[in-house]
Amino acid sequence: MASKGAPAAGKLWGGRFTGGLDPIMQQYNESIYFDRAFYSQDIRGSIAYARANTKNGILTQQEFSEIERGFKQVSKEWQDGTFEINPGVDEDIHTANERRLGEIIGKEIGGKLHTGRSRNDQVATDMRLWLRDQLDQLESYLVDFLKVIAARAEQEIEHVMPGYTHLQRAQPIRWSHWMLMYGSFFAADLQRLRELKFRVNKLPLGCGALAGNPFNIDRDAMAKELGFDGLIMNSMAGVADRDFVVETMQWGSMLMMHMSRWAEDLIIYSSGEFSFVKLADAYSTGSSLMPQKKNPDSLELLRGKAGRAFGQMSGLMMSVKGIPSTYNKDLQESVEPLLDHVKTVGDSLQIATGVLSTLAILPNNMLKSLTPDMLATDLADYLVRKGVPFRETHHISGQVVALAEKESRPMDQLSFEQLEGVDKRFEKDVLKVFDYQKSVEMRSAKGGTSRSAVMEQIEAVKKALAGEA
């Protein structure tokens, strides 16, 4: 039988308990080995909280100075890698920091730090502080990626390639137009990220365990010190909310969905059957068996990591959906997936930027993959400009495609007489239709693949980067 009080001694919650924890339960319960990532944020929040408790008379100025001094040493120990976790006692980062603070400045002063505060509002504050910094970093990675997309689109605007629907060659497009399709996706992701950051940056500190703070603490002053845009106005919501984690993962999952599609296109385009692009050696690997192989592992990993991101998001939503108000230990399950999700998305953006920055394109192979039948719509449009209804011109163009197949020759090698035999309204200038550059230039309405339309898209991406769209 456990000795009375011993196993729970030293824990923040230990006074109520006289029995010991099952060792497996102790390990199952602790979070210190992953939430120590928040050590800096936990210290910043604690100093702000101590300062607020000094203003309302809970702490003296001398006591606050000691707490601040002690935390500076704790922070340095974490930074230097000399902080020693006390297994079985330091169950989380809050306990570890407060335990070490007491050792440095004495438990009498250190023990006053937590007055009116709960680990419930403390962890929510730590997570939001940490995530806010991480989202700033993710934004910078995404901005870098979009800058590369815009720069390459502008530099390589001359090159024409097949555009696909159903993975079948459809119409000629500019290579830049393909890049800017993803540019528009990622620009929308950037806009969503900026909106997300505003909702993350709300302060829960001062909400207590769930009912609020009894010492009239100045939450607005703490928010200002810690750089928050505002407060979570309901104390129960402050400790219960993990929507900011779920929304971050929803955002990251959507970005990774776009990243996966982008990677899949480049995997296809880098294959021998297409050979539109060639990956740099830095982002490829070889085969252990086949010396000729050059595998697009970077792109395959990007595609695979998307599934990892989706799983983290859906897993957390399943954990949160059924818990009652307010704080429940289930919410601890929001920390590990968030840490991994943010790292996965950040690493993926950096890899994608490296891939695109070093990617070689093979314009001649793109050009060779264009075939005259891809101009069948242009042929129909030719007759539309002569006043023929599109539904009729579509049928006529299909007859020309069938004739070319019957004659076993490309459409552009049919004679004018053969075209005239299909429809008398064709005139000799119809042969000018079979020009890929002319085809892309005809798509000049906003959003199209002409040079002018593509340049407008580049400007739109640049405006998104500047926060103007």
Residues 195 and 248 in one domain: yes
Residues in the chain: 469
Q: How many CB atoms lie within 10 A of CB 104?
A: 17
pLDDT tens for 187-239 read 999 999 999 999 999 999 999 999 999 999 999 999 999 999 999 999 999 99
pLDDT tens for 110-165 read 999 999 999 999 999 999 999 999 999 999 999 999 999 999 999 999 999 999 99
**Which pLDDT score, from 0 to 100, does residue 18 have?**
57
Residues 92 and 139 in one domain: no
Q: Which amino acid is at 252?
A: G
**Which pLDDT score, from 0 to 100, does residue 429 have?**
94
**Which pLDDT score, from 0 to 100, does residue 27 have?**
84
Q: Rg of the chain's alpha carbons, rounded to an integer?
A: 31
Residues 200 and 239 in one domain: yes
C-beta separation of 432 from 416 below 8 A: no
State the CATH number of the domain containing residue 244: 1.20.200.10
| pLDDT higher than 70, residue 292 | no
**Which pLDDT score, from 0 to 100, does residue 14 have?**
54
Domain boundary residue, one of 77, 110, 143: 110
Residues 290 and 420 in one domain: no
Helix (H, G, I), strand (E, B) or coil at 202: strand
Residues 91 and 125 in one domain: no
* Cα-to-chain-centroid distance, residue 234: 29
H-helix or E-strand spanning residue 274: none
End-to-end C-alpha distance for the chain, whole angstroms: 67
Residue 469 located in a structural domain? no
Number of helices and strands in the chain (H, E)? 19, 6
pLDDT tens for 317-340 read 999 999 999 999 999 999 999 999
Q: Which amino acid is at 177?
A: H
Residues 425 and 304 in one domain: no
Percent of the chain clearing pLDDT 90 (strictly above): 90
State the CATH number of the domain containing residue 410: 1.10.40.30
Residues 315 and 417 in one domain: no
pLDDT tens for 167-201 read 999 999 999 999 999 999 999 999 999 999 999 99
Q: Which two tokens stand for residue 436?
A: 């890929």
Number of domains within the chain: 3
Residues 363 and 259 in one domain: yes
Distance CA 106, CA 64 (A): 13
Give the confidence band of 11 by pLDDT, cuts at 50, 70, 90: low
State the CATH number of the domain containing residue 26: 1.10.275.10
Provide the pairing of β-strand 202-203 with 230-231: parallel
pLDDT tens for 31-44 read 999 999 999 999 99
Helix (H, G, I), strand (E, B) or coil at 33: helix
Q: Which two tokens stand for residue 127?
A: 């997570």
Residues 322 and 295 in one domain: yes
C-beta separation of 259 from 265 below 8 A: no
Residues 410 and 284 in one domain: no
Tokens 């605007």 sit on residue: 157
Owning domain of residue 98: 15-110
C-beta separation of 172 from 380 below 8 A: no
Give the confidence band of 288 by pLDDT, cuts at 50, 70, 90: low
Residues 355 and 378 in one domain: no
Residues 413 and 396 in one domain: yes
DSSP code of residue 21: P
Q: Which two tokens stand for residue 392?
A: 């009729």
Residue 462 located in a structural domain? no
Domain boundary residue, one of 313, 346, 368: 368
Catalytic residue numbers read 166, 287
